[in-house]
Structure 1
Amino acid sequence: MKLAGKKILVTGSTMGIGYGAAAQLLEEGAVVAIHGRDMTRVRDAIQKLGGGERLVAVVGDVADLDSCKSIVQQAVAKMGGLDCLVNNAGIGELGYLEDLSEEHFDRIINTNLRSAFFLTQYALPELKKTRGNVIFTASTAGICAGPTDSHVYAAAKSGMISLGQSLALELAPYGIRVNMLCPGYIDTPLIAAENAKLNGQVFQFIEACVPLGRLGSIEECGSAIAYLASDAAAYFTGSVISNDGGATAARSWGGRN
């Protein structure tokens, strides 16, 4: 197995892309720290993944800096080290400019961007020991504009991309790789909820505008994260990888047809 024995912390891994990543990493032989804000949900995810000694529970709110430090400390203590940090935790609350508050802005930036910076900082001593790597789950919203109500979310994800590229340069002398995965429309509970709220318009838009004509799956994101975490990707650093069914490329001409 490609990741046999590797110790990996995946933040926000009780559902969605983080859960898909954890499942793939586990399948490839890694020891995985499952993280969430609620211990019950963390334990449920571990049980769903099959349990066992290669899964450990980590709890904390990434929006809080003391909690970020605790999350890393818990993972390192329970796994006995750290080879890879997957900065995946995030929230996707949307809103139009005239409706947004300072509290909304701070919540999105703190959860999606600030946490990724400080989790990486707190993990750095362990990653230096293992010549490990960091993966940021960014978004195609950080590469090109849209949707029109994603202002703060897009700013946070764009910040993650710039942060990751800068860190890739700083940390390369330590043998630490840093890469950014940018998912497009992925079949997660958040997308499903947004689609239901808009009476199916989200799925209609995806079918019309994504060249492959469909949502991506959490398994497809998980396999990309597992690859970036592995030694097979040893020459990847500072890379921004779109996993979006061609959506970013399609922006240059407006859609599928």
Structure 2
Amino acid sequence: MGCHDRLRGLSALVTGAGAGIGAGVARRLAAEGVQVTVIDRNPDRCDLLIADYPDQIRAEVLDLTDFSAIRAAVARSGPFDILVNNAGLDQHAFFTRTTEQDWTRLLRINLEAVFAVTHAVLPAMQARRFGRIINVGSEAGRLGSRGGAVYAAAKGGLIAFSKSLALENARFGITVNSVLPGPIDTPLLRKAVVTGGDKLLAAMQSATLLGRLGTPDEVAAAVAFLASREAGYVTGETLGVSGGMGISQG
């Protein structure tokens, strides 16, 4: 089986796919012959993806905090062989400067929406006895994050959720893995750099062994492998795509 045939004919759902890592994942899967449904709340960004791959990508425009809309979208567009839970939301603030509203908003997108999407998609995977679930987290969930305690807690929960689903669903032929990006060159990161300046960018780069930002395409390559038939013996794993950020330099 060639590398361009390992995903052909499968169907995928990718959340938060309008830009950055999610858009990179959607394009990579479509390029490998997957029929991709993307979820994003921005219709213009969805239209750009569809324009690139009109025969491979379709969109569900909705807010991931609306769990009833998620269930309806999955019912319309599913079933799916692959689920990529990518949507996420960050907020830089020391914990004592956050509010209950901040906690609710961050947990709702970064963790509860993952529960809702997965809960809607998983029964059909179980019935078909095949599935690939890839949860896109963050190295913050493994290492912690100064100024991002709630975000890190949600991403740490995502790792535990992925491992628990792997334990529950191996008997159905479903694999569940998480990918943990480090600092990735996305529009969201560039917006943070505008606020934080060159010192912030330098700090992000120096936190990695490779001394640079990653790209959405590099994360997408990892996701594509875990989604493929070739990765059928990989489950319950946590893969850092972070330039060695998770390795101690002491």
Tell me whether the two structures share a fold, i.e. TM-score over 0.5.
yes
The alignment partner of 2:209 has SS state of coil
Instruction: State the Cα distance separating 1:64 from its structure 2 match.
Output: 2.0
One-letter amino acid matched to 2:207 = C
Provide, for residues 46-104 of structure 1, a one-character-per-residue CA deviation record: whole Å limited to 9, x for no partner: 22xx232211111211122112212322331xxxx310110001111221112111111
| Residue of structure 2 equivalent to 1:23 | 27
Percent identical residues: 35
| Residue of structure 2 equivalent to 1:213 | 211
Structure 1: distance between partners of 2:237 and 2:54: 33
The alignment partner of 1:214 has SS state of coil
One-letter amino acid matched to 1:223 = A
Question: Which of 196, 199, 219 does residue 198 from structure 1 map onto?
Answer: 196
Structure 2: distance between partners of 1:38 and 1:195: 23
The alignment partner of 2:169 has SS state of helix
1:57 and 2:59 equivalent?
yes
Structure 2: distance between partners of 1:63 and 1:118: 9
| Residue of structure 1 equivalent to 2:185 | 187
Structure 2: distance between partners of 1:36 and 1:197: 25
The alignment partner of 1:249 has SS state of coil
- C-alpha contact 2:162 2:176 (8 A) present in aligned 1: yes
| Residue of structure 2 equivalent to 1:45 | 49
Structure 1: distance between partners of 2:45 and 2:214: 24
- C-alpha contact 2:7 2:29 (8 A) present in aligned 1: yes
| Residue of structure 1 equivalent to 2:77 | 75
Structure 1: distance between partners of 2:246 and 2:233: 24
Instruction: State the Cα distance separating 1:130 from its structure 2 match.
Output: 5.0
Unaligned regions of 5+ residues in structure 2, if any?
none
Structure 1: distance between partners of 2:11 and 2:129: 10
- C-alpha contact 1:59 1:71 (8 A) present in aligned 2: no
Change (3 A) 1:149 1:157: same
Structure 1: distance between partners of 2:210 and 2:236: 26
The alignment partner of 1:35 has SS state of strand
Alignment RMSD = 1.2
Q: Calculate the TM-score normalised by the size of structure 1.
A: 0.92
One-letter amino acid matched to 1:87 = N
Structure 1: distance between partners of 2:73 and 2:158: 19
One-letter amino acid matched to 1:95 = A
Q: Calculate the TM-score normalised by the size of structure 2.
A: 0.94
Structure 1: distance between partners of 2:96 and 2:207: 27
Structure 1: distance between partners of 2:215 and 2:49: 18
| Residue of structure 2 equivalent to 1:107 | 105
Structure 1: distance between partners of 2:143 and 2:204: 16
Unaligned regions of 5+ residues in structure 1, if any?
none
- Larger displacement relative to structure 2 (213-222 or 190-199): 190-199
Superposition misfits of 4+ residues, deviation over 2 angstroms: 38-41, 206-209
Structure 1: distance between partners of 2:113 and 2:198: 33
- C-alpha contact 2:111 2:158 (8 A) present in aligned 1: yes
Structure 2: distance between partners of 1:236 and 1:133: 10
